[in-house]
Structure 1
Amino acid sequence: MRVRTEDGRTSEETIPANEIREWISNGPFVITIGNAGGVSLELNGRPIPRLGASGSVITRLVLPSDNP
């Protein structure tokens, strides 16, 4: 999984099953997921529906922050 925040910081890693990661940003996130069926996402405490089947690759998914 790769996550880029609005200030250009990028984090890329393989996240083991049942582990949680949290990213904080004042702007949108750009996310790439190598196995969409193996990832559960929340944005500001709200679950995001599954993005794809096991093995599906998602590129350049933009999630807005909860910024008024």
Structure 2
Amino acid sequence: LASFKGTELHETEFYQCDLRKADFRDATGYKVDILGSRMKDARFSLPEAVNLLADLKIKLS
């Protein structure tokens, strides 16, 4: 239930965290371990949310 809304999280990494219902809307500068963290109902906004895909090793075009 943490709120990071609008926060600059310069080089902050969330690794194996419980981020359920966390609010990352309009936050920047963070990295989330999406494979090891609990993220149900977490909220994100674009374009920063695209960075969540980095752990999946996929390419967007």
Q: TM-score, normalised by structure 2?
A: 0.29
Structure with greater proportional helix content: 2
Instruction: Name which one, 1 or 2, has greater alpha-carbon Rg.
Output: 1
Report the TM-score, using the length of structure 1 for normalisation: 0.28
Higher strand share: 1
